[in-house]
Chains A and B, each alone.
Chain A
Amino acid sequence: AQTVTQSQPEMSVQEAETVTLSCTYDTSESDYYLFWYKQPPSRQMILVIRQEAYKQQNATENRFSVNFQKAAKSFSLKISDSQLGDAAMYFCAYWSQGAQKLVFGQGTRLTINP
């Protein structure tokens, strides 16, 4: 079975600085997707960024980028120029093509200090 591990329950960063959230996963599948979701306080969970396992190039969405190391099964999220609106719970998730469902990590609560 696939597992996803986020080893940082909480992180904090100064506004305008850069922060990296860690995620590792375990799988025997060769075809899968990885995601970072963001859940602001009392609000809907939204997709931040997606990475297809077959793509070597790291995904980037504006200030958000990932460092995808397939051999190491690592998928970290880098947030550049942190803004107050980035404060949220961040979940790393794995899409199993075989099981057709998402497997989530435990989440990392990110605080942005003004």
Chain B
Amino acid sequence: EAGVTQFPSHSVIEKGQTVTLRCDPISGHDNLYWYRRVMGKEIKFLLHFVKESKQDESGMPNNRFLAERTGGTYSTLKVQPAELEDSGVYFCASSPMGRDIYEQFFGPGTRLTVL
């Protein structure tokens, strides 16, 4: 069974540019989460999808971040325009519905560097 995959693994962009990160969850997992780790700090929750619906987006930093999950499969996280403080590692995780929702499987992360 394929795990959670993320693309790209690394992205280096200039301030003001746009970047789109992609996450493919484990097949059949309705829950999809985005987290972010800024250098040296804790991993922080960004948002949670249940299928194609945003269940909780309380962790999204501001309106420069837009997440979508069309069709309830893969998800994208777009940053437009990117700022220096957006640099960090963006993790995606997925989990099944029901009592095992806490059993999150993580992707390898996308390291974003904004210059």
B-binding residues in A (CB < 8 A): 4, 33, 37, 43-47, 91, 93, 95, 99-107
Chain A residues with CB below 8 A from B41, complex form: 106
Whether A37 pairs with B106 at a CB distance below 8 angstroms is yes
Chain B residues with CB below 8 A from A37, complex form: 106
Which residues between 94 and 110 of chain B lie within 8 Å of chain A, taking CB atoms?
101-104, 106-109
Asked if B16 is at the interface of the complex by the 8 Å CB criterion, the answer is: no
CB distance from B61 to the nearest CB of A (A): 16
Whether B55 pairs with A100 at a CB distance below 8 angstroms is yes
Whether B106 pairs with A100 at a CB distance below 8 angstroms is no
Offer 21 A-B interface pairs, CB within 8 angstroms, sorted by A: A37-B106, A44-B3, A44-B109, A45-B91, A46-B106, A91-B42, A91-B43, A93-B43, A100-B48, A101-B33, A102-B35, A102-B43, A102-B45, A102-B93, A102-B104, A104-B42, A104-B43, A104-B44, A106-B40, A106-B41, A107-B42
Asked if B56 is at the interface of the complex by the 8 Å CB criterion, the answer is: yes
Number of B interface residues, CB 8 Å?
A: 23
CB distance from A43 to the nearest CB of B (A): 7
Main secondary structure of the interface of A (DSSP, over half): strand
Task: State in angstroms the CA–CA spacing of A99 and B58 once bound together.
Answer: 10
CB distance from A49 to the nearest CB of B (A): 13
Chain A residues with CB below 8 A from B102, complex form: 33, 95, 102
Chain A residues with CB below 8 A from B35, complex form: 102, 104
Whether A45 pairs with B45 at a CB distance below 8 angstroms is no
